[in-house]
Amino acid sequence: MKKQNRALTITVAALISLTAANADEEVYKIDPVHSSVNFSIRHFVAKATGSFNQFEGSIQVDTDDLSKSSVEATITVGSVDTANEMRDDHLNADDYFNTATFPVITFTSTKWESTDEETMFLVTGPLTMLGITKEVTLEVSLLGFGPGRNGAHLSGWEASTTIDRTEWGLTAGAPAVGNEVEVTINIEAVRQ
């Protein structure tokens, strides 16, 4: 009986210390209804724009030191939307995203770097698309924390980067379609 009580005491103490150690970390789940993943790319002499309508992810926020935060996200490639059904079908085909074989794009941060501005960060990590993984860096801005409806606690973020699509094997359409893709992400996330 003494061994059981001692084991229980040790377990409770360990849980309390673990909770205290993680008290400054909060997990926020991305709300896809109030978030967006948009892109633009050169098309002949203008720009074509689009978005991905299905995505999910979470942000682990270190409230004592935001540069110790992390994010992971998954985009469903088949949700690509350029306001043109024929073009969307073509983007899902083998010569572009090959959605049947590679249905998702993933990103997981490995580094958050503070900048001169308190709410701006450079977030770096592997981006996997078409089975190819390359490191990318996003410029991320914390828009704020605050209350939402029904007692929810929210965080708002904006991120952007430019990638060279050919690094992931996306070469179709050139030269009419440019290589540089500008990506803009707006996130509202709910604390769990």
> What type of residue is 99?
T
pTM score, whole prediction: 0.86
Q: 149-174: per-residue pLDDT in tens?
A: 999 999 999 999 999 999 999 999 99
Residue-level pLDDT at 1: 53
Structure tokens at 162: 């430019």
**Cα–Cα distance measured from residue 5 to residue 11, given in angstroms and rounded to the nearest whole number:** 10
Answer whether residue 18 shows pLDDT above 90.
no
Answer whether residue 184 shows pLDDT above 60.
yes
Average model confidence (pLDDT) for the chain?
91
Sign of the CA dihedral running 106, 59, 55, 91: negative
With 0-12 / 13-18 / 19 or more C-beta atoms within 10 angstroms meaning exposed / middle / buried, residue 91 is buried
Answer whether residue 9 shows pLDDT above 50.
no
Q: 30-49: per-residue pLDDT in tens?
A: 999 999 999 999 999 999 99
Residue-level pLDDT at 24: 82
Is 77 in contact with 102 (CB distance < 8 Å)? yes
**What fold is seen in the domain 24-191?**
Lipocalin (2.40.128)
Q: Distance from first CA to last CA of the chain, Å, rounded?
A: 38
